[in-house]
A and B are shown apart, each in its own frame.
Chain A
Amino acid sequence: MGRGLAGAALGVLLILPFFLGSYGLTIFIFVFFYAFLGQAWNILGGYAGQLSAGHAAFVGVGAYTSAKLAMAVGLTPWIGMFVGGLAAALLGLGVGYLGFRFGLRGFSFVLLTVAVAEICRLITLHIEALGAALGLFITFTGNPWMFQFQDSRAHYYIGLGLMLLATGVVAAMERSRMGSYLAAIRQDEDAAEAVGVNSFRYKMLAMALSAFLTGMGGTFYAYLIFSLQPAAVFGIPLSVDILIRPVVGGSGTLMGPILGSFILSPLAELARTYFSGGGMVGIHLVIYGLLLIVVVLFFPQGAYPYLQRRLARGSAP
């Protein structure tokens, strides 16, 4: 995408809240939030090519860490966000050590990540200090210092900021030595090793960075929803929510997670709003399933690479 187009889009997003109602704001908040999480997932799942279907684990660890620290010792979530990110990164390094040291590739690694998220959910379900099955409830005070806002435009701008932050991190990574090394590892790990790439180390770095950012997202989630339940923040549906956006938009590309979120998040929100009555709660997951089939069949590399090719063809003489 041209710089001009990106700049214009950003300009629109910056003034948009002054023209949106609360429902519109909510939809955009989720677009940004899932684009942010998708971008974080993209580092590991897209660039490094290590598919994680358990990224909810990092959201959950980040959310519980930050919320519990705020409740127990009054630590501001502005700092708790980074502590939660660090906790998630530590968990990520543990998962990465198990997966990469013992050479789990492909489907085995996917299963490992799912298993870790499920273990986190089951453990949290039995920790009284974290509210066990009931979860943690955050009392609303509206104090911005405690990451609480009367006006959801604050969530809008913070969400937008997070999305831009993750995208900036990934853009810098793409151009760095790490970006080249991850591309090499993704395409042929043995050939990468043969030219001096420490594949274990770079996969661990990708994991730590991806988990850290995802963990930061946990704090945003906690103070958007004001309650944390093990099934919601560690569950498989959230893991699917995180990975499906970059996969649909184009994993391993800078704009893929953003495009994917702009396609899927409004759909998911609308489905939740209009179908949540009458026992159709999970309808957005059905929509994901159908979309995934379309993507796999018609543009397996994702929507963004497809668009890029179409635009390139369109502008060629």
Chain B
Amino acid sequence: MSLLEVHGLSKHFGGLEAVGGLSFALAEGEVLGLIGPNGAGKTTVFNLVSGFYRPDAGDIRFRGLSIVGLKPHAICLLGLARTFQIVRPFPQLSVLDNVKVGALARHRHVPEAVDRARAVLDQAGLAAKAHTPAGALTLAERKRLELARALATEPTLLLLDEVMAGLNPTETGHFIELVARVNQGGITVLLIEHVMKAVMALSMRVIVLNYGEKIAEGQPDGVVRDPRVVEAYLGEEYLRAQS
């Protein structure tokens, strides 16, 4: 059985069809890349799956149960966590307290939640910044914090929305390793990413969206050679650079 199944998912904003009849499935343990040009509807898919938007049509099943209409916090407690494309730390709280808020989802008692938060900070390479206010972090650190806070809720499925955008190549390399370790730890990952290096390194399968519709799906190597994908998103330059 698939961990996440999306059937005929649609969302309109006024006259604009942001997502139109999208279907896909995610197997347990998989890393699925969701790519496509800006405005293709990728973040809308995340907002629908994580409960921030209600779909106009279609069904979303997580571990076999429909989660359409559930509030974001309830979906998180079922084990589906997300990050935000534009990072949203709690700026006045310390890094540790930010992650503690996530850890409290599974550990009611504050001391246990703090222990858990420290462990996640170690994992995310933020232990040295535990007592820094989140508002004072660099962009790369904020991206790590965004991931750490989601991880602290102990998800089975993690939705990562452009966590590597704006990072330099070294930071991107570290982040790819971090996400790979998270996945090896048993967490399924749905990845929105423009950084193709990360998409190619991490994804077992890739879905390409354009104007809210799926135009390609398959192994990363095959998808990037698909003429429709090249035309709609990657461009001839990308293929030439790769060969």
Contact = CB atoms under 8 A, between A and B. Distances in A.
Contacts of A177: 104, 108-110, 113
Contacts of A191: 84, 88-90
Contacts of B97: 180, 183
Contact of A198 (B71, B84, B109): B71
Given A177-B110, A190-B52, A191-B84, A198 B93 contact: no
Contacts of A181: 101, 104
B243 to A, nearest CB: 40
Interface residues of B, number: 31
Nearest to B109: A177
A282 to B, nearest CB: 36
A10 B104 CA distance: 34
Interface residues of A, number: 20
Contacts of A194: 50, 52, 72-73, 76, 81-82, 84, 150
Contacts of B169: none
Contact of A188 (B88, B152, B153): B88
B55 interface: no
Interface string A197-211: 111100000000000
Contact of A180 (B76, B89, B104, B153): B104
B239 interface: no
A184 B105 contact: no
Contacts of A195: 76, 81, 101-102, 105, 149-150, 152-153
Interface in B20-73: 50, 52, 71-73
Contacts of A188: 88-90
Contacts of A197: 73, 101, 105
A183 B153 CA distance: 17
A184 B117 CA distance: 15
Nearest to A184: B101
A175 interface: yes
Nearest to B154: A196
Interface in B77-103: 77, 81-82, 84, 88-93, 97, 100-102
A193 B71 contact: yes
A273 interface: no
A103 to B, nearest CB: 12
A276 interface: no
A192 B110 contact: no
Contacts of A200: 71
A217 B149 CA distance: 40
A22 interface: no
Contacts of B150: 194-195
Nearest to B92: A187
A196 B52 CA distance: 13
Contacts of A143: none
Contacts of B149: 195
B91 A193 contact: no
A190 B71 CA distance: 11
Contact of B88 (A176, A180, A190): A190
Interface in A153-186: 175-177, 180-181, 183-184
Contacts of B71: 193, 198, 200
A183 B104 contact: no
A187 B93 contact: yes
Contacts of B152: 195
Interface in A226-283: none
A180 to B, nearest CB: 5
A195 B84 CA distance: 11
A314 to B, nearest CB: 21
Contact of A193 (B72, B110, B113): B72
B196 to A, nearest CB: 27
A191 B93 CA distance: 13
A179 to B, nearest CB: 9
Contacts of B76: 193-196
Nearest to B50: A194
Interface of B: 50, 52, 71-74, 76-77, 81-82, 84, 88-93, 97, 100-102, 104-105, 108-110, 113, 149-150, 152-153
Closest 10 CB pairs of A and B: A196-B105, A191-B88, A193-B72, A196-B76, A187-B90, A195-B102, A184-B101, A198-B73, A193-B73, A177-B104
